[in-house]
């Protein structure tokens, strides 16, 4: 397909998506109805034994799960290096999530427990993670949602063989903190950036939805190694985590020009849920994804109209519907 035709299909896809979101917004139950169908699709996958969760349900691993009903699929679980004498040391409650090109672009993880913080840092080290997006507070509604896995600025903590020094901490906008860590294992040093958003209640949506778009934009611009997966976590590693991943995924589709009328956010969320349960966990979160992406699409149309869309790269590789079905 020529560049001109791809551009036409791109614009048609954007307009179709905006129109669809507007139709959902105009209906009292539009987002709820679509979300219910997503839930039903996940239940059908479970009935059909789409993927097993055997490893996470082994007796030695049960204590490593923050919530008993949120366990990674065996096919997509993050596998850690074995520690000598511990057959289950390769387990952590985290999942590999495929990006636009079918590679593992994300790790969706639960917030570490006090007994899994060492494993959390092993995962960061072994998978060369450079960016961690934390979408929960340590304590919410008087309940511990995530164990603190960093020290105060200028201090360090040892997590097994790994030493983590907190180099800096700054509030980049209201309720969003950026921290930098110097991670050391022996003579090898690895730098990690954490983006910590504190304005997102569990099972809810942020007070200011623009914050999510802004911090995801910062996350995208902070990536240096495109091959390194971004680690996203909240408490369970599904609702808020899935919302972030879904927005970033479609943002990448838009920037790469891999967007046409065949695109379906419904299909994308269903596919993400085949890789980890309950990604995007509430109708409100599903509505948030739609609205943030609608805003991005409207901006993209404005750029196209003013001929300032140089960042859009019309790929001649697979189309977005092919990547969604991987």
**Do 135 and 232 meet the contact criterion of CB atoms below 8 Å apart?**
yes
Domains of the chain listed by start with CATH number: 3-324 (3.90.190.10)
- The pTM assigned to this predicted structure is 0.92
Q: What pLDDT, on a 0 to 100 scale, did the predictor assign at position 321? A: 42
Other Cβ atoms closer than 10 A to 56: 20
What are the φ/ψ torsions at residue 234 (nearest 5 degrees)? -125, -130
Q: What pLDDT, on a 0 to 100 scale, did the predictor assign at position 324? A: 41
Other Cβ atoms closer than 10 A to 224: 9
Q: What residues in the chain have per-residue pLDDT under 70? A: 1-4, 48-50, 308-326
pLDDT tens column, 84-103: 778 889 999 999 999 999 99
Q: What pLDDT, on a 0 to 100 scale, did the predictor assign at position 203? A: 76
For residue 285, give both structure tokens: 């979160």
Q: What pLDDT, on a 0 to 100 scale, did the predictor assign at position 49? A: 62
Q: What pLDDT, on a 0 to 100 scale, did the predictor assign at position 202? A: 78
Other Cβ atoms closer than 10 A to 105: 21
| Residues annotated as part of the active site | 234
> What dihedral do alpha carbons 116, 122, 128, 130 form, nearest 10°?
50
Q: What pLDDT, on a 0 to 100 scale, did the predictor assign at position 51? A: 79
Q: What pLDDT, on a 0 to 100 scale, did the predictor assign at position 121? A: 99
């Amino acid at each position: 397909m020529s560049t001109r035709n791809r551009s036409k299909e791109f614009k048609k896809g954007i307009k179709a998506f905006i129109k669809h979101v507007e139709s959902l917004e105009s209906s009292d139950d539009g987002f709820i109805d679509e979300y219910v169908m997503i839930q039903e699709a996940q239940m059908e996958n479970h009935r059909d034994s789409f993927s097993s969760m055997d490893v996470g349900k082994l007796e030695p691993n049960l204590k490593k799960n923050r919530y008993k009903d949120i366990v990674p699929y065996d096919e997509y679980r993050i596998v850690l290096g074995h520690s000598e004498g511990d057959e289950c040391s390769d387990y952590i409650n985290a999942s590999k999530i495929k990006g636009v090109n079918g590679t593992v672009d994300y790790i969706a993880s639960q917030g570490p427990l006090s007994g899994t913080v060492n494993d959390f840092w092993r995962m960061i080290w072994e998978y060369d993670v450079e960016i961690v997006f934390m979408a929960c507070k340590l304590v919410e509604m008087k309940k511990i949602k995530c164990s603190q896995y960093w020290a105060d600025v200028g201090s360090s903590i040892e997590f097994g063989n790994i030493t983590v020094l907190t180099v800096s901490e700054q509030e980049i906008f209201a309720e969003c903190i950026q921290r930098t860590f110097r991670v050391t294992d022996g003579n090898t040093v690895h730098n990690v950036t954490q983006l910590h958003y504190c304005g997102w209640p569990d099972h809810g949506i942020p007070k200011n939805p623009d914050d999510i778009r802004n911090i995801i934009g910062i996350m995208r611009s902070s990536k240096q190694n495109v091959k390194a997966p971004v680690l996203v976590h909240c408490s369970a590693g599904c609702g808020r985590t899935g919302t972030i991943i879904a927005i970033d995924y479609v943002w990448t589709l838009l920037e790469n020009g891999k967007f046409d009328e065949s695109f379906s956010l419904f299909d994308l969320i269903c596919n993400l849920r085949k890789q980890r349960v309950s990604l995007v966990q509430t109708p409100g979160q599903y509505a948030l994804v739609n609205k943030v992406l609608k805003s991005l699409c409207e901006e993209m149309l404005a750029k196209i109209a003013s001929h300032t869309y140089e960042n859009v790269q019309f790929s001649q590789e697979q189309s977005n519907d092919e990547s969604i079905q991987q």
